A and B are shown apart, each in its own frame.
Chain A
């Protein structure tokens, strides 16, 4: 049970898909122009990730090794197309803003990566928890990048104006280079925090040892 929670928490920090393993960079850089776009993209990806991990884990004994990648891709593509239709029907504005990046969830490395590395070997419930952890990690990552870019680039957050009068937005942050700058700064911050945590654990270990 503890191991399962550990696997779930891994996706939120230690093996964070965007900030640690650095996969799924295409949507991370392309659609995070605003908080809602980043969050919408990440939630759509999380939905596909959980559904496909569940199904692939269930089918792992049935799918022969030789055709496992095409089989996974069909499963993933089915869920992505479903999400595409649902978003078109119920959130047309978000669908329009995310555009071509919704169909591109099919080739998101996070999903195929979790299917290949985890779901195809582990029991169903474990795979669901792993997918949920990775999905939530991706969600907070993309929402954070989107929020920073929206706040500094347009002076709003989730569409609400929060900037004081006379604030000049840094337009560069909503353009593609802004995505790289934001990601780089966040990666640096995460490394500093991780180093601090590692130092503290080491110091504690030495204290208990001596």
Chain B
């Protein structure tokens, strides 16, 4: 066998074995990875909705789309094909305590994903949890602290939430603080409207 044929054969065999092995590893770890992700999601939903012990997923299809084009509630703005995912929190008796939605803001280091919980009856924010962020450690990452997140509790759609008045900035992390505040603000009324529509249609 000449040299170049040998190169092709050896490299092909190595790549094939590698592919087979990786497929196996993927299958072996798949369940465990999905379980971990589901638990993390569940934890943040329950954290944003005090009193909830369980949740169910509502696929909302808001009629006429969302008011705000910049909404991050769905992957493609204005497209009706993707449902808008809302998580309805349920108490011990199975009664709804509120709903939670995921929105995104652009922080200092990248996208910040935020879970916002809204109370069923008062329609005010009951909790905020940070799902993902890549902010500067010990500066922007302080948005994860309870003292920052709890400032959103009790805020509603009546007034826009203002950074500096309703929400105290984190020292040195104005961009991160603003990203969270704006993201929560932007989609609160959209999500509330979609939730009301979805539960009346049920």
Interface of A with B (CB < 8 Å)?
A: 33-34, 59, 62-64, 66-67, 70-71, 74-75, 77-78, 81-82, 85-86, 88-90, 92, 96, 99, 153-154, 169, 171, 174-175
* CB-CB nearest in chain B for A34: B137
Interface of B with A (CB < 8 Å)?
A: 3-4, 6-7, 10-11, 14-15, 18, 21-22, 25-26, 29, 32-33, 36-37, 40, 132, 134, 136-139, 172
| Docked complex Cα distance between A81 and B15 (Å) | 14
Known: A71-B10, A74-B14, A78-B22. A33 touches B137 (CB 8 A): yes
Contact pick for A85, options B14, B25, B37, B172, CB 8 Å: B25
A-B CB contacts (within 8 Å), total count: 69
Contacts of B11 in A (CB 8 A): 67, 70-71, 74
Contact pick for A89, options B3, B22, B32, CB 8 Å: B32
Contacts of B172 in A (CB 8 A): 171
- Is there contact, CB below 8 Å, between A75 and B7? no
- Is there contact, CB below 8 Å, between B36 and A74? no
Known: A82-B22, A153-B138, A171-B138. A89 touches B36 (CB 8 A): yes
Secondary structure call for the A interface: helix
What are 29 inter-chain pairs, A to B, with CB distance below 8 A? A33-B137, A34-B137, A59-B14, A63-B14, A66-B3, A66-B7, A67-B7, A74-B11, A77-B18, A78-B18, A78-B21, A78-B22, A81-B25, A82-B25, A85-B26, A85-B29, A85-B33, A86-B25, A89-B29, A89-B32, A90-B32, A92-B36, A92-B37, A92-B40, A96-B132, A153-B137, A171-B138, A174-B138, A175-B139
- Is there contact, CB below 8 Å, between A81 and B137? no
* CB-CB nearest in chain A for B39: A92
| Docked complex Cα distance between A74 and B26 (Å) | 17
Query: Which 3 residue pairs spanning A and B have beta carbons closest together?
Result: A89-B32, A89-B29, A78-B18
